[in-house]
């Protein structure tokens, strides 16, 4: 069953005006489908041009679409990073910001991007079987880092639970699937 979402910028960050980030997420058995729609004055957003996709680190230093998955009743979780350029990475954590390492269960993370003058769309279908059993309930946080063309960075999420932007707070994993 698909759920729609709308991300909110962290209040103290300089988010571009007239920008909206919405999307859909669904889990069908163990296939997770997520799509992001960046709408509005996207000329203010630094969106990397498509390149040959590679696994890369520190994608969050630029515009990056992200989501976090955790198995219910488990402190461990995964972070997925998707760059508009096609680059990607997935990290596994043992606990809150502890034991970070690349998740080797994924050797590729193909996703589609569509860049129009007033919108940017990114869509991913991923089989979670390699990391989560089909019977496990998952908790999801959906996030985005937006780097403006002027260098400002804003942090967008379903929910901001901390005093500072922090996508790793488990209480921000508010969607259950």
Rg of the chain on CA atoms, in Å: 15
Contacts of 160 (CB under 8 A, 6+ apart): 8, 10, 11, 172
Per residue in 19-54, pLDDT (tens digit) is: 999 999 999 999 999 999 999 999 999 999 999 999
What is the enclosing helix (H) or strand (E) of 113?
strand 111-116
Nearest to 56 by CA among 3, 116, 108: 108
Task: Answer yes or no: is pLDDT of 57 > 80.
Answer: yes
Per residue in 149-177, pLDDT (tens digit) is: 999 999 999 999 999 999 999 999 999 99
pLDDT at 175: 95
Given CATH 2.60.40.1190, say whether it is the number of domain 3-176: yes
How sure is the predictor about 16, in pLDDT bands with cuts at 50, 70 and 90? confident
Compute the average pLDDT of residues 140-146: 98
């Amino acid at each position: 069953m698909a759920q729609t979402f709308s991300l909110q910028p962290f209040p103290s960050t300089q988010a571009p005006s007239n920008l909206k980030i919405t999307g859909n997420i669904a889990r069908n058995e163990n296939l997770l489908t997520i799509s992001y729609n960046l709408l509005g004055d996207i000329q203010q957003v630094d969106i990397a041009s498509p390149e040959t996709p590679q696994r890369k680190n520190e994608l969050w230093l630029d515009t990056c679409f992200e989501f976090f998955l955790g198995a219910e009743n488990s402190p461990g979780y995964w972070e997925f990073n998707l760059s508009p350029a096609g680059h990607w990475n997935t990290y596994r954590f043992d606990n809150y910001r502890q034991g970070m390492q690349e998740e080797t269960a994924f050797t590729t993370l193909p996703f589609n991007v569509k860049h129009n003058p007033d919108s940017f769309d990114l869509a991913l279908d991923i089989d979670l079987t390699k990391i989560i059993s089909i019977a496990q309930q998952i908790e999801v946080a959906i996030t985005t880092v937006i780097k403006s063309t002027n260098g400002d960075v804003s942090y967008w999420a379903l929910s901001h639970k901390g005093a500072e932007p922090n996508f790793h707070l488990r209480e921000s994993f508010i969607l259950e699937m």
